[in-house]
Amino acid sequence: DIQGGDDYAAIEQAVYRRYARLQKEGLALPEIVFIDGGPGQVARAQVALDALEIEGIQLCGVAKGTTRRPGLEMLHIPGWAAARQFDDDDPVLLVIQEIRDEAHRFAITGHRARRGKARQESDLDGIAGIGPKRRVALLRAFGGLRGVRDAGIEDLQRVEGVHLELAQRIYDFFHVGRA
């Protein structure tokens, strides 16, 4: 299990899971993999590939320069004597920045979706008799979890599929304790 904030372990786990799945499904492996980070992250990605006995993938770490400003990224490629910095208008750097920015956008969007889903589901899913359809119906009827929490038993019963016993259970969950 990964401790929060362990970037190295997170990279290793992500690379391992991704390429283990590709191997299992018999899908093609890429020729190059960009890693968000420097030599340490690249080394841990290599550990994952080695554990899977995968060869022939070129790893390339993309790290922020010392000032951490866009355009000053450093490329870390195993086997190179030193990291390389490109001119800020070099087409190679521009393509790499686009790839990095898209990867960040994808990761952030996925994280927000998971966080939002977990927040929506956590309380209502703890109540027996509420599945995905009733949860959605309740959230829509009352404009969100706070509205469900503030609703009375009669109001809850007005939602399709919520009978008196379930309405009481929902009300008790938020006002008396865990039902």
Q: Write out pLDDT tens, residues 80-90.
A: 888 888 887 88
Distance CA 175, CA 26 (A): 52
**pLDDT tens-digit readout, 27-40:** 999 999 999 889 99
| Beta pairing, strands 74-76 & 58-63 | antiparallel
Distance of CA 52 to the CA centre of its chain: 23
**pLDDT tens-digit readout, 104-154:** 787 788 777 777 665 555 578 788 899 888 988 998 899 888 899 999 999
Distance between first and last Cα of the chain: 32
Q: What is the DSSP string of the chain?
A: -PPTT-HHHHHHHHHHHHHHHHHHHTPPPPSEEEEESSHHHHHHHHHHHHHTT--SPEEEEEE--TT--TT--EEE-TT-SS-EE--TT-HHHHHHHHHHHHHHHHHHHHHHHHHHHHHHHHHHTTSTT--HHHHHHHHHHHTSHHHHHH--HHHHHTSTT--HHHHHHHHHHHHTS--
Topology adopted by domain 7-106: Nucleotidyltransferase; domain 5 (3.30.420)
Tokens of residue 74, six digits: 């450093």
Superfamily name and number for 119-174: 5' to 3' exonuclease, C-terminal subdomain (1.10.150.20)
- The pLDDT value given to residue 179: 47
What residue ranges do the domains of the chain occupy? 7-106, 119-174
Helix axis angle, 7-25 relative to 39-51, nearest 10°? 30
Of 69-73, 101-105, 166-170, the one with minimum mean pLDDT is: 69-73
